Amino acid sequence: MRMQQLHQKLDQAEAEKVKEKHIRTQNLVAWNKEKIRMQSEVKRNREQTKRTMLDIENKDNEIEKLRREVDEMIKHGQQLAVQEPPPVRRAQKGKKVLGVWTEESQFDMDDEDKRSTESEWSERSETSKNKERRWMPQGRGGRGGRGRGRGRGRGR
């Protein structure tokens, strides 16, 4: 009786081992398929980037060629039929449209808008005549200095 139970447990353990091995190989095969798919996608993206860069380079060459032709025509005195650029829409009061500011808002910017936070401005030495304030990069940390950057040790 005891021998029969041991044989059943042994057979069951071997069956579980075979089942685990089968599952592991299936997972490995699935992972390899996924890896191949990702590699082909990366390769496709690289090729697309290469084609895009070549297109950009070809456009640059074409533009340079056209510029040289225009320069040659100007050098030989030929007039170009230049089209006038389309009129720029005027901006509404205080609003920015197409990169054009109205005269009203153009000069309204005060120094507070240009500055960063107050803690990034530090006093120069107290002995200087005009006590000029200069901007110092804040980094991480409190007042003054660069704080803890990546390249500096922390003194541990």
Q: In the predicted model, is pLDDT for residue 125 greater than 80?
A: no
Selected residue with higher pLDDT from 8 and 124: 8
Q: In the predicted model, is pLDDT for residue 121 greater than 70?
A: no
Q: In the predicted model, is pLDDT for residue 40 greater than 90?
A: yes
pLDDT band at 124 (very low <50, low <70, confident <90, very high): very low
Computed over every residue of the chain, the mean pLDDT equals: 75
Q: How far is CA 98 from CA 56, 88, 114, 148, in A?
A: 26, 8, 22, 41
CA distance 147 to 133: 19
> How much is the pLDDT for 76?
82
List, for residues 54-86, the tens digit of each pLDDT value.
999 999 999 999 999 999 988 887 765 556 666
CA distance 42 to 33: 14
> How much is the pLDDT for 80?
58
What are the counts of helices (DSSP H) followed by strands (DSSP E) for the chain?
3, 2
